[in-house]
């Protein structure tokens, strides 16, 4: 198995980054680089701030990816996502920006992110982005998050 660079967060005390830009994501060597498989992270209590009102926005994020040479270390991802608590951004910018940063730094074979945002102003906004078509042989389960239905 390839050697991973030292991580900055794993096994250490780490403070929540002041902003998503200040967050340092750690990547480690993929333990199965020859296998095509899907990794899923779900963040059902994700928050950011509305750039207009400053009020909190809540989302259920689902990130699926097929690793290349590296995988993202989960503690650093948790800290990165937590850094959005004080970040003002529209749903589209936040969701797509998370996906694009992971793709740029990790270089997975493929990645998709679903941002299932809870209603603000009476309208839920769901945002979906992927890096390209998924590999043909990749088992890709449904993200499992229903569209917002209100009461009922």
CATH number at residue 56: 3.30.1130.10
Report if residue 76 sits inside a domain: yes
Report if residue 102 sits inside a domain: yes
Distance CA 99, CA 110 (A): 10
Residue 20's pLDDT is what? 96
Model confidence pLDDT, tens digit, residues 74-110 = 999 999 999 999 999 999 999 999 999 999 999 999 9
Report if residue 63 sits inside a domain: yes
pLDDT beyond 60 at 21: yes
CA atoms within 13 A on the CB side of 58: 7
Quote the number of domains for the chain.
1
pLDDT tier, 8 (very low <50, low <70, confident <90, very high otherwise): low
Report if residue 43 sits inside a domain: yes
Is pTM beyond 0.75? Reply is: yes
- The phi, psi pair for 99, rounded to 5°, reads -60, -45
Q: Which domain holds residue 107?
A: 35-130
Nearest of 127, 130, 113 to residue 57 by alpha carbon? 127
Residue 121's pLDDT is what? 81
Report if residue 18 sits inside a domain: no
Report if residue 139 sits inside a domain: no
Provide the annotated active-site residues: 50, 57
Tokens representing 25 are 């994501």
Nearest of 91, 78, 10, 15 to residue 45 by alpha carbon? 78
């Amino acid at each position: 198995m390839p050697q991973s660079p030292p991580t900055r967060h794993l096994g250490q005390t780490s403070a929540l980054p002041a902003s998503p830009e200040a967050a340092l994501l750690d990547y480690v060597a993929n333990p199965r680089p020859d296998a095509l498989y899907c990794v899923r992270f779900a963040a059902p209590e994700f928050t950011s701030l509305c750039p207009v009102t400053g009020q909190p926005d809540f989302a259920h994020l689902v990130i699926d990816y097929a690793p290349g040479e590296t995988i993202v270390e989960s503690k650093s991802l948790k800290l990165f996502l937590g850094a959005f608590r004080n970040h003002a951004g529209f749903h589209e910018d936040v969701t797509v920006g998370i996906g694009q940063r992971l793709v740029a730094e990790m270089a997975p074979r493929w990645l998709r992110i679903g941002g299932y945002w809870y209603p603000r102003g009476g309208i839920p906004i769901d945002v979906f982005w992927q890096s390209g078509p998924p590999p043909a042989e990749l088992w890709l389960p449904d993200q499992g998050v229903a569209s917002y239905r209100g009461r009922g």
